[in-house]
Structure 1
Amino acid sequence: MYISRSDAHRAQKARKRRKIRTLLTLNLVMLLIIAGLTAVYVFKFQGDPLEAEAGHDHSSTQVEEQVATEHTDDAVEPEPVNEAESVDTASGSAESGDPSGGQVGDEGTGQAGGNPTMKPAEEVNTQVVMPDQDGLKISFVGDIQMSGKVAELIDKNGDDFPFHYVKSMFEQDDLTVANLETPITTGGVPAEDKQFVFKSAPGSASALGKAGIDMVTLANNHVLDHGVTGLMDTMKHLDTAGIQHFGAGKDEEEAFKIAYVERKGKRIALLGFSRVLPKSSWFAKGKNPGVADTYSSAKAREKIAEARKEADFVIVTVHWGAERADKPNDVQKQLAREYVDAGADLIIGSHPHVLQGFEQYKGKWIAYSLGNFVFTRSSNPMTWETAVLQVTLNHDGSCALQMFPFHANLGQAVPMDQATGSKLLKRVSALSHPLGAEVRQDGRIGTIGRTR
């Protein structure tokens, strides 16, 4: 059949129109799909604050470095620990008289990366145990060492300088416990193959006693920085100052010995263990002096069970975790559960040099790390934050916890102002949320109960 040129032209234009309509239809369908997906995204991640938090990028708050210190085989000698936290970077230090230590940034938060997102108040109901007015009050603080730049400040300002702002608090409680992360000695030989070696003067022991500190754990990776001589001198100076110590000793029996103290008709047991030691020669084994290690938890569990039979309240202090990590690792969580199962009522952690969260397991509290307290200064702002944790043992056997925010200035703990302290409480509360706990704005710590 013959088709004229004009008919062919019209047919060609019709085909083009159909193609255009098809393309327009496809584009419209794609735009509708994109609009639908956008609506779902906005509803899911902006309309629901809990989902938004779950998808939040916390990379800015991650620690700069984590040190591998965990070993599952006791026969394997632990690797030396890289302790970059001990670098003296005291710009604007307490020497200037500025209580903030000059470290404040971001409107005085002194925090790295800001505060993690908080869950809305209406979504949770914190179950808080209130303290009895005449309950037994115990204060816990983190790492203390008085060498290097700290010693220079003490020489200039006096022995009471590190504890100027906390002395009255410690004098008013019934018991104060700290982690003494230094030998107190004038002798000994510095440990080899160790980046940071501490050595505090004999007057440090009496300064601790005058500040109201009653007991210290020696179970850490610095107490043998000047060998066995340094350890023996440390215990001698502490004994002279009337400060009880535990967690290390002249042999295995003394290192693992339970420290008992009587307060307000209650018998309290304290034990100290370390999961972080430079090498196995630091372990107290048999007649060898050293630290009560917990690379295997068997001995620790045995001693906790023994204390459970003799005491009204059993406290375990443990040196564990990775430095500058603000979240507990799996080894910390596992050990904590084993300690509680063995009979511990309260667990207080140290070594990370930063604050970590709180958790309650089988009704018993775990404070994974209280950070530095009186220490040198690193370049990591999270090490500049600390707290006094006050625990009240009530008459009914319950335990009330309250956190008091402090700056960990160079060689001195200084209370935070209300605004800065509020931000720190929120940050630690956010760290505790995944563990089922929360820190209220009055510092009281409780478990989270859902309201819906």
Structure 2
Amino acid sequence: MPYSRVQSKQKAKRKRRWPIVAISALAVALIAAVGVYAAILAGNGDGDASPPAPPVSTSSASASASASSPPDDATASPVESSQPAETPDSAPSSEPDDNGEVDQPDEGAPAETASPSTEEPEATPETGTTNDPGTSAPTGATVTLAFVGDILPASTVGKLIDQYGVDYPFKLAKPLLESADIAAGNLEAPITTRGTPAENKQFVFKGKPAYLAGLKNAGLDVVSLANNHTLDQGWQGLSDTMDALDDIKLKHMGSGADEKEAFEPVYIEHNGLMVAYIGVSNVVPEGSWKAGPDHPGVAETYDTTRAVAAVKKARELADIVVVMVHWGNERADTPKDAQFNVGHTLIDAGADLIIGSHPHVLQGFEAYKGKWIAYSLGNFVFTTKQEYSKTQDTGVLTATCAADGNCRLKFDPMYAKASQPGPMEPEQGKALLARLNKVSYRATVDSNGRITAK
């Protein structure tokens, strides 16, 4: 297995712990010695000297020495106005759609029973920052979170990027993405120039590292790698993807060198509110793709044990907990039973928002115990056909969330033409919102895209 920067970072973190512990212990010993010496001097003085300071506990000194760095500020750039771009005349119109992969059913990827990790999450620059649970957000503070579906910077989309530039796919959606405080999506391809293509798969993707600049420029802040294409080029391709995302400071979750890293949340702070993002997949082509104690891969949720543990840990540290899940049947308008079961389980564990992807089409929303599930946001930037297809119906979901985890939802409908999503015509948008209203559960989607609980 190639030795990647992802693994070297983990090794470096382990090495850094020992000097910190040793220095902390030495500091405690020196402080104690000074205190004893001061007491002896005070005893020989005039009798009015101040008493010696109380001894410093080892745990306090260690905690101070190893405290995590301040959370990153995820403030988005100001909104830019954008004129609709002309669809390139040479954009492909008849290439086969890459959406047609038929995934194995749930029972095709055996569940792996695992006990939840008891280790505290490490706050590192690679995985985000954790907040101090003792600090509180400003009264009335809110954070706006934008979400999009599948992003495929490869295949036909890659050819378009090569021709028109990295910003081409996101040009019309950028103003809406940038208007949110934090924006997230599902990255549906490994980003690498190396790797070994996966066998026995109908579609195997690979995107160039330069393509990631388009996601960053569009205002995306975090992407999930927990999906059925992230290991299309093996562990080498996945580790390259994680390194490339780190290089441009685009946060990621849902995969790793082992299960601890794969299930580790990303923490982003804005306006005094801490938001945790967790990525998991209920679509795994084969068991070897699942991250294990000493095995790289994706965070899976056929068995929800580890996902539930990750949500509970994030709940202790974050004001808002988001889980992005890859699940469901392709081109299905309604969720399957596993989506209901997993979604409800994760909310019961403490999640505030569940954001789904993989079906390549939009599915409805559900209000469940005061929280929200978006069962599928469909494709966002993906291969498209010339003729109308529901796989080209897309949009941006915006959640305005308070410190108590309560969120107000709004969906802005878009249509992707030549792999470039843009706002729908008013009548077309209202028709799409009406369809989403019909397929939602205990929720209403009105003609303006506002989503409310029934």
Contact 2:151 / 2:382 at 8 angstroms: preserved in 1?
Answer: yes
Cα distance change of structure 1 residues 411 and 302 upon mapping to structure 2, 3 Å threshold? same
1:293 Cα deviation after fit = 0.7
| RMSD of Structure 2 on Structure 1 (CA) | 2.1
Distance 1:174 1:217 in 2: 18
1:387 — aligned with what?
A: 395
Q: Counterpart in 2 of 1:141? A: 148
Shift of 1:219: 0.2
Shift of 1:135: 3.0
User: What is aligned with 1:402?
Assistant: 410
Contact 1:438 1:447 in 2 (8 A): yes
Structure 1 residue identity aligned to 2:200: D
1:207-233 Cα offsets, whole Å, 9 max, x none, are: 211111000000000011111111011
How far did 1:377 drift?
A: 2.0
Residue 194 of structure 1 is matched in structure 2 by 201
| C-alpha distance in structure 2 between counterparts of 1:133 and 1:440, whole Å | 26
Equivalence for 2:246: 239
- State the Cα deviation string for residues 288-309 of structure 1 (Å, max 9, x = none): 1100011101111111111111
Structure 2 residue identity aligned to 1:408: A
Counterpart selection for 1:431 from 419, 427, 439: 439
CA distance in 1, matches of 2:141, 2:379: 29
TM-score w.r.t. structure 2 length? 0.69
Q: CA deviation at 1:437?
A: 1.1
TM-score between the two structures when normalised by the length of structure 1: 0.70
Structure 2 distance, partners of 1:184, 1:269, is 24
Cα deviation digits, residues 399-428 of structure 1 (max 9, x gap)? 100000011223211110111101100011
Whole-Å Cα distance in 1 between the matches of residues 197 and 388 of structure 2? 26
Deviation per CA, 1:129-154, whole angstroms, max 9, x where unpaired? xxx99731110000001112111111
Matches for 1:278-289 after TM superposition, within 5 Å: 278-289=285-296
The one-letter code matched in structure 2 to 1:241 is I
Matches for 1:288-437 after TM superposition, within 5 Å = 288-377=295-384, 381-394=389-402, 397-432=405-440, 435-437=441-443
Q: Contact 2:320/2:404 (CA < 8 Å) preserved in 1?
A: no
What number of residue pairs does the alignment pair up?
A: 329
Structure 2, gaps ≥5 residues long: 1-98, 113-138
Q: Which residue of 2 aligns with 1:123?
A: none
The CA deviation string for residues 321-380 of structure 1, in whole angstroms up to 9 with x for no partner, is 100001011110011110011010110000101000000111000000000000012578
8 Å Cα contact 2:371-2:406 kept in structure 1: no
Note if contact 2:141-2:272 (Cα within 8 Å) is conserved in structure 1: no
2:453 is the alignment partner of 1:447: yes
> Structure 1: which 5+ runs fail to align?
1-63, 78-131
Q: Partner amino acid for 2:430? A: S
| Displacement after TM superposition at 1:73 (Å) | 8.4
1:85 aligns with: none
- 250, 259, 276: which one pairs with 2:257? 250
Structure of greater relative contact order (alpha carbons < 8 Å, 6+ residues apart): 1
Q: Distance in 1 between matches of 2:100 and 2:278?
A: 30
Distance 1:65 1:188, change over 3 A: closer
> Are residue 71 (structure 1) and residue 91 (structure 2) matched?
no
Structure 2 matches for 1:8-27, cutoff 5 A? none
Cα pair 1:245 1:259 within 8 Å, conserved: yes
Question: Which has more radius of gyration?
Answer: 1
Contact 1:69–1:322 (8 Å) recurs in 2: no
**Alpha-carbon distance in structure 1 between the residues aligned to 2:290 and 2:451:** 35
In structure 1, distance between residues paired with 2:255 and 2:237: 12
Q: 1:262 aligns with which of 262, 269, 278?
A: 269
Work out the percentage of aligned pairs sharing the same amino acid: 48
